[in-house]
Structure 1
Amino acid sequence: MSINAPRGTQDLLPGVSEKWQYVEKVLADLCRRYHYKEIRTPIFEHTELFQRGVGDSTDIVQKEMYTFEDRGGRSITLRPEGTASVVRSYVQHKGYGLPNQPVKYFYVGPMFRYERPQQGRLRQFVQFGIEALGSDDPAIDAEVLALAMSAYEELGLKSLKLVLNSLGDKESREAHREALVAHFQPHKEELCADCQVRLDQNPLRILDCKKDRDHPAMETAPSILDYLNEYSQKYFNQVKNYLDSMGIDYVIDPNLVRGLDYYNHTAFEIMSEAEGFGAITTLSGGGRYTGLVEEIGGPETSGIGFAFSIERLLMALEAEEIELPVNEGLDCYVVSFGDEAAQEAVKLTYQLRNAGVQVDKDYQNRKMKAQFKSADRLQAKYVVVLGDREVENQVVNVKNMQSGEQQEVPIAEVVQHLQQQLPGGE
């Protein structure tokens, strides 16, 4: 019986993994320019972290978490998202006491959600995200939005739409909550089972329901923007002013909500408008949150962040037919024939690798013609050829596989010669 990867997971094979490496390198460099530092948190955490941090009323906690009991009887959960883990680390290591605030993190790593697998949505997926903790300045909201858009634009995406909303502060949200309950209560029995529960626990999330989105009551639901108090309205206007000054386009959607309980003020999503991308157009989402640090045991601290899956990013690149500049070819392939040449080939390959040259050689004792075929398949830029006669004369033949030109080079000089010939060489 053959054993395959579990449903909702995937193997990233050579030829694909290089694309991931390139994307992660671009994202890390972007974060460096914005002065966000990498944080790496455990893949599993105590279940209570997500119950308190993500929210008991969310689909993630109620339906999607991989939770198990360890041998010590502790409830452990594979992390379903990154924010709660980052905030837990921030509190545990007293990031709030650092002299430079806000503290700015980025992360890349696997997350786990038990949901029906579909294109771009797996049970194990890789999420890139950032968190900025310790500032109430609307300018940091604008910075996070700019970073999110730049993450896609740096990789060549153009069919993007930034959707923006404000969830207001606690006072504004409470007023809106009461209005939502009053609006949807007469239609309670017409709503799906989940939304009937949400009406009591978190009525804002009714607006995000996929099953009830075509219900007539959705169109006439009260808008959060009509319930923003003076402070919340001023905050939202300032965020928009900063975006305008940077020339970042956006659209306002008063029905945009986030699926987690800890958001307030700025909420946003970035969507792909590329033809053929799929029915689910959201690429990333995020927003500002207050109360999460306190919920996990720290002092009153606000933060803002966003996250997206690398899988959906790669789907968007494919939809826009963007080829990543991934170099899959070898710098050099060493061809040898003869016992002494085989000995010298091992030594030369080692020296070239130590000098920074990407090189491989034959390990199947094939004839010279078959070795050249391997060099072709591996798209080697140069082939170094040596036999027992070359070893005796202390020379090798270096062939440029593109031009076909061949040059005899002393063995002692072949490393320097290739370094000069390869792109970026002296």
Structure 2
Amino acid sequence: MLEDRPVLTVTAVNQYIKSIINRDDNLKYLYVKGEISNFKLASNGHFYFSLKDDKSLIGAMMFASYANKISFNPENGQEVVILGSIDVYPPRGTYQIIVYQMEEVGAGAALLELEKLKKKLLAEGLFDESRKRQINLYPKAIGVISAPNSAAIKDILTNLKRRYPVADVYVFYSAVQGENAAKELLNAFNIAQQYPLDTLLIGRGGGASEDLSAFNDEDLVRAVAYSKMPVIACVGHEIDTTLVDYAADKRASTPTGAAELATIDRREIEQRLSFALQDMQESLINRLKRMKDDVLSYQETLDLKLRQLVSHYQEIIKHKALALETLNPENVIKRGYSLTIDEKGRTITSLKEVEKGQKIKTIVKDGIISSEVLDMEEKSNGKKL
């Protein structure tokens, strides 16, 4: 029943089909051999054509950025080998192959050989992400392999000096295209391995695929994969990819990008130092504030303890004073007691301290009584002395 099924728009159907195809890795980066037909060069530089064999035909499209790199003029009836990915054009509901590289048959055989080498090295694990090393952003020494007087070497050196002028830079010149380029690049690479480098950059500016072929040399690719120091490849532009790019630890789309990957910008260092100094100042200020608060707290606590201690001892002194005041002979006398002293003012506390006829004085609360000892009697048994 129609009412039991969702109703889709044509656009939704085409977009869904496109999403399925775009997720299928088996439809990406295919090498396809066929004959060109219906070729058209658009005003914006794009190529539109069909690729066919004796039984089938598929639409094809090549953007101008890729088309500008091929070394021949495509024509109807020409047999070619292309590298491309399948895609869907939703407005028309058609699928086509988006072409990245194109070679004439014969030249296309080299493209197929390159793919065979790529698969071989991939199977050996030379392109594995687990092999990739981190780049030291604070290098002491950086090596650069490129052509002398090239725009690439100038861009790299200019940006290294601008970004991180404290690093030593060693340049190893080599041809980057031509018959001897692969051999020269490998020789320069091996020489660079003998230097105490933190990072090694290897690359050149953009060019046609055949101009970049030296960077697909198997010996060079293996040397890059087993380099003593991390390698940054910067071969061509964003749309160019060589086997050296796959083997390197990092890949930059431009020579300038390689210099940026190899170093931290000194302005970023200055900014980080500024932030660190600011954090230190804030931390120090906060710490001093906490110390000040602690000192004030300790001071208040100490003041309180001292006041309590002083108050405690004042109470003790007060009680002692009262006790002493209670034992003061004058106060004792005031309570009705008397104090007897001899002629020298010494207190008489025993009969043994006086004798008959001795002059003594008795202090009472309202005066002094002078007297003479006439008789003495012990208290214990009333015996006269």
TM-score (norm 2): 0.22
Name which structure has the greater RCO, CA cutoff 8 Å, separation 6+: 1
